């Protein structure tokens, strides 16, 4: 193999295996998610919002509008045709989105979005949602969280 053809092969390989650039984020959202990065008021606001949303929603999804995994999870939930009780919060549209995500990390141990709760129970992310759907766990959680008549 000549040096020239090897270089051409490398270019082709790079062109075909190039990853998409990361989505635009604000400096605040791209920063560390440690709760110590936020003041007490921000964390109290985040805690209150998350805990209220999780408690009052049959399905609570913490998402980012540009995230393909979030889009997939929202499509999956929408496809279940639940009559009511699905709440989605787009963290990249929230002033305190980074503080909310930091609180979610403390609460769940999960750094990524989507961060999904069913009936107040932390399910996980998009992969966890798919696994729960395939195993029947999602159906069980939804039945347990069904509003009583």
Question: Does residue 17 sit within a domain?
Answer: no
Question: Does residue 131 sit within a domain?
Answer: yes
CA distances from 84 to 27, 45, 56, 118, 146 (A): 35, 25, 11, 13, 10
CATH (domain of 77): 3.40.30.10
More confidently predicted of 109 and 29: 109
Q: Comparing C-alpha atoms, which of 59, 47, 52, 36 is closest to residue 133?
A: 59
Question: Does residue 94 sit within a domain?
Answer: yes
- The pTM score is 0.76
Question: Does residue 10 sit within a domain?
Answer: no
Q: Comparing C-alpha atoms, which of 110, 113, 94 is closest to residue 46?
A: 94
User: For residue range 115-128, what is the model confidence (pLDDT) as tens digits?
Assistant: 999 999 999 999 99
SS3 call for 68:
helix
Question: Does residue 16 sit within a domain?
Answer: no
Q: How many separate domains does the chain show?
A: 1
Question: Does residue 4 sit within a domain?
Answer: no
User: For residue range 31-85, what is the model confidence (pLDDT) as tens digits?
Assistant: 455 667 898 999 999 999 999 999 999 999 999 999 999 999 999 999 999 989 9
Question: Does residue 129 sit within a domain?
Answer: yes
User: For residue range 77-115, what is the model confidence (pLDDT) as tens digits?
Assistant: 999 999 899 999 999 999 999 999 999 999 999 999 999
Per-residue pLDDT, averaged over 1-12, amounts to 51
Question: Does residue 76 sit within a domain?
Answer: yes
Q: Tell me which residue range forms the domain holding 43.
A: 33-144
């Amino acid at each position: 193999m000549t040096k020239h053809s090897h270089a051409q092969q490398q270019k082709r390989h790079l062109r075909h295996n190039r990853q998409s650039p990361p989505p635009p984020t604000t400096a605040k959202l791209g920063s560390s998610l440690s709760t110590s990065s936020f003041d007490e008021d921000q964390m109290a606001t985040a805690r209150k919002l998350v805990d209220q949303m999780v408690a009052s929603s049959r399905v609570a999804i913490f998402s980012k509008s540009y995230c393909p995994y979030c889009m997939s999870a929202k499509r999956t939930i929408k496809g279940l045709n639940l009559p009511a009780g699905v709440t989605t919060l787009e963290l990249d549209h929230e002033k305190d989105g980074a503080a909310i995500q930091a609180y979610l990390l403390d609460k769940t141990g999960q750094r990524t979005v989507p961060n999904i709760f069913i009936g107040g129970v932390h399910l996980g992310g998009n992969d966890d949602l798919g696994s729960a759907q395939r195993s029947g766990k999602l159906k069980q959680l939804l039945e347990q969280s069904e509003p009583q008549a």
